[in-house]
Structure 1
């Protein structure tokens, strides 16, 4: 019995006979499919020591990118994938080697796994962030022009005070506009995406006001429609800035957490 563990990237349904995973895994590891042919499921894996990947932050980020790339390449190859989070390992045990234990788990959970995969087939995750450049939002208030005029002829100390007042008015105007845009943007994106989930914005500069930050589950045929909606939102106001990222494996839409055999603790950066 081999004592090697299996690092699991994701699951696929009914892969064609003879299909091989495209690309490489973490640190160039060769990928393969562990098939449970009698239930129409397979796992994308590489052989690994039976301990999680741990190290400096830069290494962890590099490993996670490689994990994502392997899962996304497999999604493109077969049309759908149920991605696993970073650092899921299946180790050998008294009931069999790692591959046998993984096949047994696939068989035991076949109905649930097929249902999850059916929902994700032909779909990917995209991330949308919409913000406002606060300074570009008209305050709609005569007092703003008065403050700007006073600042031109005021001494430095007074200019700093007036500048803070001006910044507060612009921030309030941006927050008001963001509230208006949020509902409209969410409604329009929700009409095209098959599901959506709120996310914390990856980056936001101090001069920006957040409108929304979402993960979208989008069918491959509908990606262009999402782009059109975002273009229209971008053009609706000069202060609007849009970030549209993806495709990614649909990590945000895999359903309830799966209890896999010997799952190692996952790093939080997925």
Structure 2
């Protein structure tokens, strides 16, 4: 390799046999390797600082195509490692200058990382996204008056459409609150994220719920089945169940978007 290379941290787990990492490539396209400290293992990969250094990251994180590609590669590593034990996925763009600095970070954050691994041991994250169904809670238009002219008819129809839209949005928002509460009761922990950017969600529909739920891995089928039973009770919502994923929403390293 030429140029100056840093270390992109993908995830932290407990002691991990190097053979488990064979064939896994990271964000930079090179094989990942293990950096160990105090019973913890950081799974890292070399990245060219010309693209992944502090200044370059600030530019590239504004590029949605670049961000999508990098996020997918980042996720694939965490998704591979979680098969071998509990994982703390690193925040996107956690970059250190070398392995020694990664080890120092593991030592500094040892207590928090150890506690996080214990908290998610045997558990995975599921996502529930809900979108408002346009017109699902509409209202019947008011009847026309006996002497209603074209102008009044237009205004009446416009008011009816606005009222229907407001009622549909209110019903969808209330339904999302109820759905989140119901799903949360099935999970160990729940978190409600802001709605996704429509450019990332791939739909123009209004997202009213972007929930994450920490669930016992042994109850995955039960959890998914319970969600499917809840969906018919919310006809004003289009619901998507995703997962299982590594527990991004419930364990994280420090938010680092700069090279250390």
Q: When the two structures are superposed, what TM-score results if normalisation uses the length of structure 1?
A: 0.75
Is residue 196–residue 214 contact of structure 1 (8 Å, CA) maintained in 2? yes
1:82 to 88, 98, 103: 88
For 1:173 and 1:6, the matched residues in 2 are separated by 51
Q: What SS does the corresponding residue of 1:63 show, helix, strand or coil?
A: helix
Q: Which residue of 2 aligns with 1:190?
A: 184
2:254 to 255, 258, 267: 258
2:162 to 160, 168, 175: 168
Give matches, 1:180-219, under 5 Å.
Answer: 180-202=174-196, 203=198, 208=206, 210=208, 212-219=209-216
Q: What SS does the corresponding residue of 2:156 show, helix, strand or coil?
A: helix
How many equivalent residue pairs?
Answer: 244
RMSD: 3.2
Give matches, 1:60-209, under 5 Å.
Answer: 60-76=67-83, 78-91=84-97, 98-137=98-137, 139=139, 144-145=140-141, 147=142, 150=144, 160-178=154-172, 180-202=174-196, 203=198, 208=206
Question: Structure 1: which 5+ runs fail to align?
Answer: 92-97
Shift of 1:183: 4.3
Q: Which residue of 1 aligns with 2:39?
A: 40
Q: Which residue of 2 aligns with 1:239?
A: 236
Question: Structure 2: which 5+ runs fail to align?
Answer: none
Is residue 21–residue 74 contact of structure 1 (8 Å, CA) maintained in 2? no
Shift of 1:254: 1.5
Give matches, 1:50-65, under 5 Å.
Answer: 50=49, 51-52=53-54, 53=57, 54-55=59-60, 56-65=63-72
Is residue 23–residue 31 contact of structure 2 (8 Å, CA) maintained in 1? no
Q: Which residue of 2 aligns with 1:220?
A: 217
Q: When the two structures are superposed, what TM-score results if normalisation uses the length of structure 2?
A: 0.78
Is residue 190–residue 212 contact of structure 2 (8 Å, CA) maintained in 1? yes
For 2:115 and 2:24, the matched residues in 1 are separated by 27
For 2:174 and 2:165, the matched residues in 1 are separated by 14
